[in-house]
Amino acid sequence: MSRPDSNSDARDWQFMKKTLVLRINSQEPELEKIRIAADFIKKGGLVAFPTETVYGLGADALNPKAVLALFEAKRRPVDNPPIVHVGDVKDVYRLTKKVPRKAERLMTRFWPGPLTLIFERSEIVPDVTVASLDTIGIRMPRHWVALALIRGSGCPIAAPSANLAGKPSPTSAKHVLDDLNGRIDVILDAGPTHIGVESTVLDMTVEPPQILRPGGTPYEVLKEVLGKVELNPVAVANKALPVEKARSPGVKHRHYAPNADMIVVEGEMTAVVNKINELVCFYVQVNKKVGVLATDETARCYRADVVKSLGSRSDMAIVARNLFRLLREFDLEKVDVIIAEGVSAERIGLAIMNRLRKASGYNIVMV
């Protein structure tokens, strides 16, 4: 193989390694495959693994060199802290200075599950793992393969989504391979993920606790348990907001974005359909290949080059599960522009709208 010439390729030459893909049972993970992957983690390697939300790219959270390699493999800015995944609640007490009583209630109720809690970090956590912040985001994933890998590795695992930074998050092993083949050591392939959007991130260092990123555990459910929960402005923003220090992934830098330009149209459904058709006509006239991200209720209303449905608005869990996969499919179709319908921002819909808005770079049309 000849050495690459371009600066970008030359910078990535260090990643030209063989990525091992291991198909693994999602309910009863084969111990030998877990051992192979865990050995890479123990040696400072990088392993992509499934969670209930999206696929994560894991490294030993207490090994600074391994975490730095994770940032480099993803081309992730080092000021964007990954979430640390644990396999036992006891690990939380080791990684943090204190665990508020409210956090203990949440861990009892929602772990394992799609809820990340922000704590003050302890001295054993390397600076690179938390982007030099005084806080750390921790969760316990609800997936047998993820838990087996963490426990088999004998260490907490720092794991952002297993994609190149800025791209739509991966919900299948194929998505990981498309982005990171040759850049990481192992992919544990347990099939598609169940939830499809990342965990909710809840800051427990402030009172009342504050959602920094909406996700798989809805705001409404957290309010039922805690009584009062606030939504940070970045969680519900419809325009870019300045963020000096990101206490959570997904709030600083562009995320979830397809290659195409993207527009999100929000409002009453009939008005949304009319505006999208108007935009389709405009872009077709200027020779753009147009994709529309619709729902079952409206997909037949459009005459774009590519129309894809997220599912029915009556089942937002399915919509969430399909979101990142369809954004990646539009890339494969090589559309120039994607025009997406907004959906209700209730329960999991809040996370869906957060991802759509950020994927568009806040290119939003209100009707």
- CB-CB contact of 47 with 146 (8 Å): no
Cβ atoms within 10 Å, residue 240: 12
CA–CA gap between residue 46 and residue 60 (Å, rounded)? 8
Model pLDDT, residue 144: 98
- CB-CB contact of 313 with 296 (8 Å): yes
Per-residue pLDDT of the chain (367 residues), as tens digits, is: 333 333 444 445 455 789 999 999 999 999 999 999 999 999 999 999 999 999 999 999 999 999 999 999 999 999 999 999 999 999 999 999 999 999 999 999 999 999 999 999 999 999 999 999 999 999 999 999 999 999 999 999 999 999 999 899 999 999 999 999 999 999 999 999 999 999 999 999 999 999 999 999 999 999 999 999 999 998 988 887 766 655 565 555 567 889 999 999 999 999 999 999 999 999 999 999 999 999 999 999 999 999 999 999 999 999 999 999 999 999 999 999 999 999 999 999 999 999 999 999 999 999 9
Model pLDDT, residue 3: 34
Model pLDDT, residue 7: 44
DSSP structural state of residue 102? H
Which ranges in 160-311 belong to alpha helices (H)? Answer: 173-180, 219-226, 269-285
Domain 7-189 is in which class? alpha beta
Q: What angle do CA 69, 162, 308 make, to 5 degrees?
A: 150
Model pLDDT, residue 359: 94
Supply 179's token pair: 């982005």
- Please state which CATH number belongs to domain 261-366: 3.40.50.11030
CA–CA gap between residue 322 and residue 194 (Å, rounded)? 10
Distances from the Cα of 171 to the Cαs of 56, 203, 292, 325, 363, in angstroms? 9, 25, 21, 7, 24
For tokens 């590519």, the residue is 306
Supply 7's token pair: 């600066």
Model pLDDT, residue 14: 52
In the chain, what are the domain boundaries?
A: 7-189, 261-366
50: left (phi over 0), alpha (psi -120 to 50) or beta: beta
Residue 21 pairs in a beta bridge with: 187
- CB-CB contact of 235 with 213 (8 Å): yes
